[in-house]
Amino acid sequence: MGAFERIKVMLGADPQKPTEFTPEARQIHDLKRMTKADFEALKQHARDHQLVTHKWRNRRWAVLLFSNLLFTFSFWLDIQLLEGSLSASRFAGFHLIDLNSALQVMLAHKHIIVNLFIGTATVFVLWAALGGRSFCSWVCPYHLVAEWFEWLHLKLVDKKLVTDHEFHRGSRTVFWVLFSLMALVSGYTVFETISPTGILSRALIYGPSLALGWVTLILLFEVLYSRRAWCRYVCPIGLTYGMVGAISPLRVQYRLENCFHEGDCRKVCLVPHVLDVVIKGRAADKHVAIGPDCTRCGLCIDVCPSGALRYDVKGLSKLM
Task: Please report how the helices 99-109 and 171-186 are oriented relative to each other, as an axis angle in degrees rounded to 10.
Answer: 40
92 vs 185, higher pLDDT: 185
Domain assignments of the chain as residue spans, ordered by start? 3-52+249-313, 58-243
| pLDDT band (50, 70, 90) for residue 45 | low
Is 70 exceeded by the pLDDT of residue 33?
no
How does pLDDT run across 230-271, given as a tens digit for each residue? 999 999 999 999 988 888 999 999 999 888 888 899 999 999
Given a contact cutoff of 8 angstroms between Cβ atoms, the answer to whether 293 and 272 are in contact is no
End-to-end CA separation in angstroms for the chain: 25
In the predicted structure, residue 67 carries a pLDDT above the cut 90: yes
Residue 210 has pLDDT above 50, yes or no: yes
Task: Using pLDDT thresholds of 50, 70 and 90, give the confidence band for residue 319.
Answer: very low
Of 231, 204, 244, the C-alpha closest to 123 is 244
Looking at residue 218, what is its pLDDT?
98
CA distance linking residue 311 with residue 114, whole number of Å? 36
Of 230, 215, 223, residue with least CA distance to 153: 223
What does the pLDDT read at residue 28? 66
pLDDT exceeds cutoff 60 at 110: yes
Distance separating alpha carbons of residues 214 and 202, to the nearest angstrom: 14
How many Cα atoms within 13 Å fall on the side-chain side of residue 90? 11
DSSP code string of 48-92:
HTT-S--HHHHHHHHHHHHHHHHHHHHHHTT--SEEE-SSEEEET
Mean pLDDT (the chain) is 87
Lowest mean pLDDT among 27-41, 151-165, 224-238: 27-41
Checking if the pLDDT of 320 tops 60, the result is no
Per DSSP, the residues of the chain read --HHHHHHHHHTPPP---S---HHHHHHHHH----HHHHHHHHHHHHHTT-S--HHHHHHHHHHHHHHHHHHHHHHTT--SEEE-SSEEEETTEEEE-HHHHHHHHHHHTS--HHHHHHHHHHHHHHHHH-TTHHHHHT-HHHHHHHHHHHHHHHHHHTTSS------TTHHHHHHHHHHHHHHHHSS-HHHHH-HHHHHHHHHHH---TTHHHHHHHHHHHHHTSTTHIIIII-HHHHHHHHHHTT-SEEEEEEGGG-----HHHHH-SSGGGGGGGSTT--SSSEEEPPTT-----HHHHH-TT--EEEEETTS----
Query: Shortest CA distance to 66 belongs to which of 147, 132, 141, 146?
Result: 141
Sign of CA dihedral 156, 158, 161, 164: positive
